[in-house]
């Protein structure tokens, strides 16, 4: 199977495909740098969208819990039908599952983008963004140096789901 670099570089287009003479090479390098900048910008946008998705799911979960609490406090008596509680639990767990898969999807998308950025850096004078920075951060393997956000954010939906299951168990006792 072809590697990222093999798939990234168009073998039919090189510095010779640009204007003849010494400026052809300069134009080619300029095109590579512009594509690199675009890829880095798109990776940053994916991260921003991931943060918005996390904010949406956190707000949704908080709103659903607040609405349930307000609805429950307005009712006289303690008993709620178990089927109603179970339906609410299923909805909440569904939201948590959607959140978890969304975080996972954004992580996978960014991993692909960073592989492309790393392959682009092979043709640049400095490999600062992926190669140098990632190695300086020990590739996220030492939490004292750098703890990647994805390691934290993937546990949040699971924590909410566990809290919902425990809350359900407490309410049906």
Question: Can you read off the two tokens belonging to residue 103?
Answer: 């975080």
Portion of the chain with pLDDT greater than 90, in percent: 42
pTM of the model: 0.81
Using alpha carbons, select from 4, 3, 27, 33 the residue that is nearest to residue 14.
27
Task: Report pLDDT for 125.
Answer: 86
Question: Of the spans 17-31, 76-90, 105-119, which averages the highest pLDDT?
Answer: 105-119
pLDDT of residue 166: 95
Q: What tokens were used for 88?
A: 């609410």
| pLDDT above 90 (res 22) | no
Q: Which residue has the higher pLDDT, 1 or 163?
A: 163
Task: Report how far residue 119's alpha carbon sits from residue 39's, in angstroms, rounded to the nearest whole number.
Answer: 11
pLDDT recorded at residue 155: 93
Residue in the block written with tokens 């909805």? 91
Taking the domains of the chain in order of start, what are their residue ranges? 4-172
CA-CA distance, 117 to 5, in Å (whole number)?
10
Contact partners, residue 91, CB within 8 Å, separation at least 6: 64
Q: What are the distances in angstroms from CA 24 to CA 9, 21, 31, 52, 84?
A: 17, 6, 11, 42, 70
Structural contact between residues 4 and 115, judged by C-beta atoms closer than 8 angstroms: yes
Label residue 62 left, alpha or beta by phi (over 0 means left) and psi (-120 to 50 means alpha): alpha
pLDDT band at 106 (very low <50, low <70, confident <90, very high): very high
> Which range is least confidently modeled, 21-30, 47-56, 145-154?
21-30
The answer, yes or no, to whether residue 82 has pLDDT greater than 90, is no
Residues 144-152 have a mean pLDDT of 87
| Residue 11 pLDDT level (bands cut at 50, 70, 90) | confident
pLDDT at 53 over 90: yes
Residue 165 sits at the vertex; the CA angle it makes with 164 and 170, to the nearest 5 degrees, is 95
Q: How far apart are the first and last CA of the chain?
A: 56
The band of 24, judged by pLDDT with boundaries at 50, 70 and 90, is: low
Q: To the nearest whole number, what is the mean pLDDT of the chain?
A: 86
Label residues 13-42 b or e (16+ Cβ within 10 Å = b). Answer: eeeeebeeeeeeeeebeeebeeebeebbee
């Amino acid at each position: 199977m072809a590697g990222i670099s093999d798939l990234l570089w168009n073998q039919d287009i090189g510095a010779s495909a640009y204007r003849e003479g010494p400026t052809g090479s300069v134009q080619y390098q300029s095109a590579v740098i512009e594509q690199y900048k675009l890829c880095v910008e798109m990776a940053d946008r994916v991260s921003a969208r991931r943060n918005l998705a996390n904010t949406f799911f956190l707000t949704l979960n908080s709103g659903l819990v607040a609405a349930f609490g307000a609805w429950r406090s307005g009712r006289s008596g303690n008993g709620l039908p178990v089927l109603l509680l179970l339906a609410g639990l299923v909805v909440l767990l569904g939201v948590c599952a959607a959140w978890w898969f969304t975080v996972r999807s954004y992580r996978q998308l960014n991993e692909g983008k960073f592989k492309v950025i790393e392959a682009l850096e092979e043709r640049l004078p400095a490999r600062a963004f992926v190669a140098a920075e990632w190695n300086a951060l020990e590739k996220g393997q030492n939490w004292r140096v750098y703890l990647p956000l994805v390691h934290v954010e993937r546990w949040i939906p699971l924590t909410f789901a566990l809290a919902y299951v425990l809350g359900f168990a407490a309410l049906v006792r």
